[in-house]
Structure 1
């Protein structure tokens, strides 16, 4: 019921000129589902759902993210038991919440968080993705479920793959605030993501590139 990011290098670079941060956002469902090496061979997480992201250990030094009351993320799986992999997953969750808060809440207040958790192509793509919601005068409400989150780490780089289920999100008119809960969920509401992250000098795992594609095969 909502569009998730679809990022390709060409689209991200083409968008670079105007994006950050006069507005953000962008994409459509489907698209270029390129694999990141090692993204499928990973860590495991238990099936216990977590209603919100775990706060990183250095949360006091991080941008504050306050999601609107009618928007929620559910992250399936607990900690992997590997502190590095858990840090990657925690930073990714914070980034996802920053992006959705920019779409559904106060865009200006999330600028620092978007720059904190993204750089390079991923920052451009996040900005383009958010911008599309404002251009089309739309938003959303409801719950997005993230699951099958797998991560591999090599030095200061990480590869992450995960699924997003947006069947419990609903279109929201940005001007009127009206939520259309009559729209049924469908296979197109499932998205498969692969993401590359790099650890910066502050110890934050920043997203540097993201690709996504239909999740009907891998996520249902």
Structure 2
């Protein structure tokens, strides 16, 4: 069962000053169990696995058509092929093969898991009026991004997730060298990024997209 809850966030200016607040509605699970979140997380982790580990069996290894030596009379153990799994360079018994690890999950269940984790992370979420400090200079600057994060009283040593309405090339170039900062668009958020983040920075326009896109309204 799900229920609608109102979540109120304080909107912070780029200088770290609280200006006003914004309330959104999220359709979340009534129970506090983590079952839906766990299923969605397992699905995402499975999709990250390539499943390309593979080796050849004795029927796939090249060569070995001729019997190495006659069956009897040599004093050696009988052998039928140099590609036997008992031989060096031979095939592998029960070795790994290409495998798909995809797990099925309904779209509504996936969206419910995202809403649940967003609700659980509301205390670690900061809403910023406009996060992009490069809109004026119009050039990449990692230093400007770090200064803005420090102005919001956030340590750059922690995992930080920045959710914007639309990715800006200058902002992307400024954050790609910061290993603890991840930049993501509002319509592409995923469960693993939110779980790993110690602090979540969301633009006001991105918050509107999240409320609309993940509440099943479109």
Higher relative CO (Cα under 8 Å, sequence separation at least 6) belongs to 1
Larger Rg: 2
TM score, norm. by length of structure 1: 0.25
TM score, norm. by length of structure 2: 0.26
